[in-house]
Chain A
Amino acid sequence: MSVLVIAEHDNASLKSATLNAITAAAQCGSDVHVLVAGNNAGAAAQAAAQVAGVAKVLTAEAPHLADGLAENLAEQILAIAKNYTHVLAPATASGKNVLPRVAAKLDVSQISDISKVDSPDTFERPIYAGNAIATVQSADAIKVITVRTTGFEAAAATGGSAAVESIAAVGDSGKSKFISRELSKSDRPELGAAKIIVSGGRGVGSGENYHKVLEPLADKLGAAMGASRAAVDAGFVPNDYQVGQTGKIVAPTLYIAVGISGAIQHLAGMKDSKVIVAINKDAEAPIFQVADYGLVGDLNEVVPQLVAAL
């Protein structure tokens, strides 16, 4: 039984979410192949070949595959999907964008955002913002799956030595065109893969204060920075900081929630963190119900004290 993982990459490097999807794939079948579809993506393909547990890397290269356009990438996956029992991708913006197209064209259900593989046809997945966990069984010949990265350990990035094989690139659909990308520049760890996250909510008051108060703490801890939807909607930080049901799902070792009240939609994105610290001036805030350590106080005083004490 061969299973296919769709690599998430930027041509130059492999995104770490791919490693979690590879772990899920290995629980579905023993022969794990990885598709790297891109342009001048040799470095990403080499990185994929070194991941422990990968048997083969397939590369498809063309200018119209460079930017992950859903129409072209889906066709590329469809060109080889019939050789596999399972097609998996991380449940990232890219995986969620592309894989349903593949499932629809194969006339199979997609199993979204799985958090556990019970058997090769039975999976667990959170529903209702993680307030319930459904166990679902698929009768489809090919299982098309997106993987919640926090549900699976990352496969070791080194130790493997898979063969890299080039396959023919599909043609350009011509129906969509990549125009531009504006990515937030940061030297901090990626939100989805960080060990420690410092996250701010509406309580931080302003974008200026968000940076002034939280950055020193994140610097001290080598942490990624996140935010609640309220903070994003208020314009304190860009949307890619958002942790929650419809933002990023994270599970760091330590999550420090500052001025975040704890709406269920936010909790859905971080409640699998190992240790949660909440700092909020409102002792009744729901965030304290999920926090391992709660501290009631003014974040403008408490956070600088914490920075000084670390």
Chain B
Amino acid sequence: MKVLVPIKRVVDYNVKVRVKADNTGVELAGVKMSMNPFDEIAVEEAVRLKEAGTVTEVVVVTCGTAACQETLRAGLAIGADRAILVETDAELQPLAVAKLLKAVADKEQPNLIICGKQAIDDDANQTGQMLAALLGWPQATFASKVVIAGDKATVTREVDGGLETIELSMPALVSTDLRLNEPRYATLPNIMKAKKKPLDTHKPDALGVDVTPRLKTLKVVEPAKRKGGVMVPDVAALVEKLKNEAKVI
């Protein structure tokens, strides 16, 4: 069984992003980039399935600039077998990415796709669901547990108010939530090994996908700042403020 894991290069989650002075976006020059944290969980899950003998091959794929090779190598260092880069300098929105990934999936014919539930840059939470729809596959988003048995995937999902378990007929797509697993740190030998693993590059044109953005970003601004608050010395002062100043209790 083959697993395809789409991943994304994003601004590292520890970076405090700054809006550009001309309000066209956020400052990306010189900013640390990393694999989207949910995608690391997806790669880890796929590699664990391989280690358990359920899966025979793990393929990581990403869409973006040549710099994304670094992110693919990070996936290979966790334990993926090979990597695919759909290389383009164009702005990619989730629908376009889903179409590119569908084209890759059509070539690769995986039985399972595991992806992160959302990227922490655009916070869109769309690509996996769109990809599943375009492939005509069932999906289990926000997964906290995945069990593969035969041609069925039983997935526990994090939903509002608790957990829900569904069963999918494979091929199927799973998107990861935070508590699915804790990704390993890549060891130095595995990072070295990852440099020698195969990495293929495709162009969107060759995949027959039009990636023209559908949404136009008119401006990006900083959110309204909260006014600085005050420190109160004790509980009595806090209660007084809440009752008489804020009037919320």
CB-contact partner of A254 in B138, B223, B248, under 8 A: B248
A291 within 8 Å of B (CB atoms): yes
Mark interface residues in B153-189 (1 if CB within 8 Å of A CB, else 0).
Answer: 0100111111111111100100001110000000000
Q: Are B144 and A239 in contact (CB under 8 A)?
A: yes
Q: Are A136 and B234 in contact (CB under 8 A)?
A: no
Contacts of A61 in B (CB 8 A): none
A132, A239, A306, A309 pick with most chain B CB within 10 angstroms: A132
Mark interface residues in A226-267 (1 if CB within 8 Å of B CB, else 0).
Answer: 000100110000111000011010000110000000001100
A219 within 8 Å of B (CB atoms): no
Contacts of A108 in B (CB 8 A): 95, 214
Q: Are A112 and B169 in contact (CB under 8 A)?
A: no
Name the 8 nearest CB pairs between A and B, nearest first.
Answer: A100-B129, A104-B130, A183-B162, A101-B133, A175-B138, A109-B214, A100-B126, A176-B138
If A101-B129, A293-B232 touch, whether A109 touches B215 (CB-CB below 8 Å) is yes
A62 within 8 Å of B (CB atoms): no
27 residue pairs of the A-B complex, CB under 8 angstroms, read A71-B138, A93-B159, A96-B125, A97-B129, A100-B126, A100-B129, A101-B130, A104-B129, A104-B130, A108-B214, A110-B95, A112-B126, A131-B16, A131-B26, A133-B221, A138-B214, A176-B140, A176-B166, A196-B249, A238-B163, A240-B159, A246-B117, A254-B249, A290-B226, A293-B230, A294-B232, A306-B239
Q: Are B229 and A288 in contact (CB under 8 A)?
A: yes
A residues 107-161 in Cβ contact with B at 8 Å: 107-113, 122, 126-140
Contacts of A291 in B (CB 8 A): 229
Contacts of A70 in B (CB 8 A): 129, 132, 138-139, 141
Q: Are A240 and B238 in contact (CB under 8 A)?
A: no
B206 within 8 Å of A (CB atoms): no
B120 within 8 Å of A (CB atoms): yes
By beta carbon, the residue of chain B nearest A292 is: B229
Interface size for A (C-beta < 8 A) is 89
Contacts of A254 in B (CB 8 A): 242, 246, 248-249
Interface size for B (C-beta < 8 A) is 80
B residues 230-244 in Cβ contact with A at 8 Å: 230-232, 234-236, 238-239, 241-242
CB-contact partner of B98 in A104, A128, A289, under 8 A: A104
Q: Are B220 and A296 in contact (CB under 8 A)?
A: no
Q: Are A113 and B158 in contact (CB under 8 A)?
A: no
B219 within 8 Å of A (CB atoms): yes
B89 within 8 Å of A (CB atoms): no
Contacts of A135 in B (CB 8 A): 217-221
CB-contact partner of A104 in B134, B142, B163, B236, under 8 A: B134
A69 to B159 alpha-carbon distance, docked (Å): 12
B residues 89-147 in Cβ contact with A at 8 Å: 93-95, 98, 117-118, 120-134, 137-142, 144
A221 within 8 Å of B (CB atoms): yes
Q: Are B218 and A137 in contact (CB under 8 A)?
A: yes
B194 within 8 Å of A (CB atoms): no
Contacts of B131 in A (CB 8 A): 104
